[in-house]
Structure 1
């Protein structure tokens, strides 16, 4: 279960680093605009908001990664699982909110939320064992 937890949390972190890159570094690029369904004008107008959101995604990724490192370094400690649950739980809530507020974003929510869901469940099962 520990291996599944670690892999899922790290995949979740990598997905959120990728989202950070899109939202913060490549927001106005044509390929990114296609992903998010925005026009050039909308992307230019919303760039500061997207960059701010991207930073949040990067921070969630970092918290998940630090949680994994602590989990592997101190297997009996509470900090690692707590950080994984906090980061991946937040990612999962964001994915749920995305699909709940816009049914056309099911695919994006699945990409954003599947690995965090697996990480949360695996962490809870690992803690219960």
Structure 2
């Protein structure tokens, strides 16, 4: 179950790297504007905020990847901690999005489902092991 949790955590990390790319690199492009529902003018005015926010997503993904590497290297405690911090933060951010703006429920579900599954699988696997 730990392996399943780490695979799901890796998928969540990849998703958050993509979100980083959309927010920090491609924010004003038609693809990013369509994804986040912003106009060209809104994207231009919120570019600095999105750039910063994108890096938060990247850092969460890095924490997860570090956790996966540590578990693979035999440091299960430290690795699981890093993976759970990363995926738990991703899940918490999705919950904040959902609770702060119900119109963003679809985005919150997309952002939070895989981290939720990763957290559940990791915790069950760690408790069973």
Name the TM tier (shorter chain). over 0.9
| Alpha-carbon offset, residue 106 of structure 1 | 1.5
In 2, Cα distance between the equivalents of 1:114 and 1:46? 27
- 1:45-124 correspondence runs (5 A): 45-74=45-74, 77-124=76-123
Runs of 5+ unmatched residues, structure 2: none
| Alpha-carbon offset, residue 26 of structure 1 | 0.3
- Which residue is equivalent to 2:30? 30
- Which residue is equivalent to 2:15? 15
In 2, Cα distance between the equivalents of 1:82 and 1:60? 13
- The normalised TM-score by structure 2 is 0.95
| Alpha-carbon offset, residue 72 of structure 1 | 1.7
Q: Which runs of 4 or more aligned residues in structure 1 lie more than 3 Å from their structure 2 counterparts after TM superposition?
A: none
SS in 1 for 2:46: helix
| Alpha-carbon offset, residue 102 of structure 1 | 1.2
Comparing 88-97 with 32-41, greater Cα deviation is found at: 32-41
- The normalised TM-score by structure 1 is 0.95
Q: Deviations over 1:10-58 (max 9, x none)?
A: 0000000000000001000012111111111111111010000000100
Runs of 5+ unmatched residues, structure 1: none
In 2, Cα distance between the equivalents of 1:22 and 1:32? 6
